[in-house]
Chains A and B, each alone.
Chain A
Amino acid sequence: MAIAGFKSKTEVVATPFQFFPKVWELDNYAQILGDPVFVRAMTITFVGAVIFTILSLLVNSTAAYAFARLEFRFKRALWAFCIVPLFIPAFAILVTSFVVVSNLGMLDSLAVLIIPGVASAYQMFFIRQFYLGIPVALEEAAMIDGASRWTIFRRIFLPLSRAPFVVVGVASFLAYWNAYVWPILTIQNPDLFQIQQYIGTFRQERGSEWGLLMAGSFLSALPLIVIVLIFQRYIVNGVRISGLK
């Protein structure tokens, strides 16, 4: 069943017009790749997704480290504050988030796509769980050598973080790449169109050009498929560490 679902998907995409001449196939790909708007949407979404992923790893892992290791005032209160967003669905605050970003003058910029989602309770929680499992003895040795908290974080925790970072980073990348509602709300400028937005708009405006649409859809999913194939080992094991256990 899994293979069938997967196959039918690639088959549909690979041969968009089952009942039409196959000669059209390459044409569609050439045409969509020749469309500067499509190429720009792919590029800009990719750039945005990379920045988004790096920023969110940075912000969430530092907070995760602090919650896992440091003692400070109001720790419990801050913890509650950072974990509550886990239970706030994006749609509950859709309207006011929109008001906030438009008051901040962020509409129609890459920032509006990137910054609001960077801090993520879920990611922080996930990374913290991992950090809690790192033996304290490792840092104690470094502390005796006079290493600061930052040095410890940089030299000990970051190098050990590869597995959780891949899992969380891929999730961030996917979330950014596949976002649809937020971009169509906040981005009007066609130069900044995100890839899902491009496909959604294409579907509305030129919906009858199925061949092109399929070629574009397939190409838009390709980077994600490549990423998953590269990191498959981490992801499949990541599911194991994540959330449940």
Chain B
Amino acid sequence: MIAPMAILLSIFVIYPLAYALYLSMFEISFYRDPVFVGPQFYGYVLDSPRFWNAISIGLRLAVMVVPVMLVIAFLIASLIRTLGRRLAGFLKTTIYLPTVVSGVVASVVFTLMYRLDGGLVNGALGVVGIGPFAYLSSPDLALPAIAVPAIWLGIGVSSLIMLAGMLDIPESYFEAAELEGAGFLAQTRYVTIPLLRNILLFLFVTGFILAMQQVDLPLVMTGGGPVDSTMTPNLFIFTQFKDPTPYATSFSLTAALILFFVLGSVSALIFRLVRSEKAVDA
């Protein structure tokens, strides 16, 4: 019964991974046979300023996206917790809906909103006398401009997970806190956050990993520009792969593997953490 799954995984996941490890030791070119070069490409990639730039863009994007996303999601979840059943149900579906929108569609919608003339954002800022800005063609503004739809896409699931965690906290804790005269802030600080610590940690790390891997938004909105200011790691890998210059493929492959080692071990670690947590809870 496992055979179909094991076979499919072998062909489409394990084999490509092994093959990638193998190929990363070779110089691949369309003109001649692969030449074994050992770990040479790892050196090239680690020496490449564009690779490090991509990593730093990924990190910066994650730093912009994750905290804001978590705070907003937390506020939404706190709000829904206090509401009546029907309203809560309606709101849950509402906040989930943006989650289904694809990166491509979000990119298109936000690109329209960011337009220099006639864009919603500049229109709104114009009313208070700021701007207009050409968000996506400014090296300083392009990355934050991409962070906004990334946050928007991520809020739904984060707040539903937080809400699920909040609903597991016995109502009596909140009631007790209220009797002691704790307001929303105090309750949040002394009851909700400590009890949600694991969930928040989980969301923080997974959010971070996802943001590091963001690719659809910059690909459609800016193509990585202007001057590589939105060249996230995965987009870098992708553009290198499509790059026809010799050895770009080897380069892309190796960069992807290095990134995988880092992100893969981080997610394996979280998985451990979450599982052990569960064991304790159960």
User: Which residues does A use to contact B, with CB under 8 Å?
Assistant: 1-3, 5-6, 8-9, 12-13, 16-19, 58-60, 62-63, 65-67, 70, 78, 81-82, 84-89, 91-100, 115-119, 121, 124, 149, 153, 174, 177-178, 180-181, 196, 199-200, 203, 210, 213-214, 217, 220-221, 224-225, 227-229, 232, 235-236, 239-240, 243-245
Contact = CB atoms under 8 A, between A and B. Distances in A.
B91 interface: yes
Given A95-B23, A100-B12, 16 more contacts: A9-B101, A18-B123, A58-B4, A63-B6, A78-B6, A82-B2, A87-B268, A89-B263, A92-B257, A94-B238, A95-B20, A174-B100, A196-B105, A221-B105, A244-B161, A244-B274
B234 interface: yes
B242 to A, nearest CB: 8
A113 to B, nearest CB: 12
Contacts of A203: 104, 107-108, 111, 220
Interface in B180-235: 199, 202, 213, 215-216, 219-220, 233-234
B97 interface: yes
A244 B199 contact: yes
A92 B20 contact: yes
Contacts of B113: 12
Contacts of B11: 100, 116
A200 B259 CA distance: 26
A14 to B, nearest CB: 12
A102 B15 CA distance: 14
Interface stretch (B41-49, B128-136, B170-178, B248-256): B248-256
B155 A2 contact: yes
Given A91-B259, A235-B96, A96 B17 contact: yes
Contacts of A84: 14
Interface string B239-279: 00100000001001100110110011101100100100010
Contacts of A181: 215-216, 219, 238
Contacts of A1: 72, 75-76
Given A13-B109, A82-B5, A177-B102, A115 B264 contact: no
B100 A224 contact: yes
Nearest to B261: A92
B142 interface: no
A119 B111 CA distance: 35
Q: Which 7 A-B pairs have the closest CB atoms?
A: A92-B260, A178-B102, A119-B8, A96-B16, A63-B5, A66-B1, A93-B16
Interface of B: 1-2, 4-6, 8-9, 11-17, 19-20, 23, 72, 75-76, 89, 91-98, 100-105, 107-109, 111-113, 118, 120, 123, 152, 155-157, 159-161, 164-165, 167-168, 199, 202, 213, 215-216, 219-220, 233-234, 237-238, 241, 249, 252-253, 256-257, 259-260, 263-265, 267-268, 271, 274, 278, 281
A119 B167 CA distance: 33
Given A5-B152, A95-B241, A67 B2 contact: yes
Contacts of A18: 118, 120, 123
A5 B98 contact: yes
B215 A91 contact: yes
B112 to A, nearest CB: 6
A217 B113 CA distance: 14
Contacts of A115: 8, 12
Contact of A244 (B13, B19, B109, B165): B165
Given A95-B252, A96-B19, A217 B94 contact: no
B45 to A, nearest CB: 13
A12 B102 CA distance: 16
A2 B91 contact: yes
B47 to A, nearest CB: 20
B112 A210 contact: yes
Given A89-B263, A119-B5, A199-B105, A245 B96 contact: no
Given A59-B8, A95-B249, A199-B105, A236 B93 contact: yes
B121 to A, nearest CB: 10
B104 A96 contact: no
A63 B2 CA distance: 4
Nearest to B238: A181
Given A196-B102, A229-B93, A239 B157 contact: yes
A141 B259 CA distance: 50
A3 B14 CA distance: 43
Nearest to B202: A244
Contacts of A8: 120
Contacts of B260: 88-89, 91-92
A92 B15 CA distance: 12
Given A96-B23, A239-B157, A91 B237 contact: yes
Given A63-B2, A196-B104, A224-B100, A85 B15 contact: no
